[in-house]
Amino acid sequence: MLAPQRERDAFVQRQIEARGIRDRRVLDAMRSVPRELFVPEDQRAHAYEDHPLPIGAGQTISQPYIVGFMIEALGLRGGEKVLEVGAGSGYAAAVLSKIAGEVFTIERIGALVRFATDNLAAAGCSNVHVRHGDGTQGWATEAPFDAILVSAGAPDVPPSLMHQLKVGGRLVIPVGKDPSTQELVRVTRTSDGDWSYEDVAGVRFVPLIGKEGWEDEVDGWQERAPRTRTRRSAKP
62 is catalytic: yes
Helix (H, G, I), strand (E, B) or coil at 202: strand
**Residue closest to 102 by CA, chosen among 124, 117, 80, 70:** 80
Q: How many CB atoms lie within 10 A of CB 92?
A: 27
Which residue of the set 62, 89, 151, 160 is catalytic?
62
How far apart are the C-alpha atoms of 213 and 226, rounded to whole Å? 21
54/63 Cα distance (integer angstroms): 11
Alpha carbon distance, N-terminus to C-terminus of the chain: 50
How far CA 148 is from CA of 67, 170, 174, 217, in Å, comes to 13, 6, 12, 23
Residues 104/142, Cβ–Cβ less than 8 Å: yes
CB 67 within 8 Å of CB 91? yes
Integer angstrom CA distances of residue 156 from 10, 94, 176, 214, 225:
37, 27, 7, 9, 21
Report the C-alpha gap between 55 and 112 in whole angstroms: 8
**What's the Rg (C-alpha) of the chain?**
16
User: Looking at the annotation, which residues are catalytic?
Assistant: 62
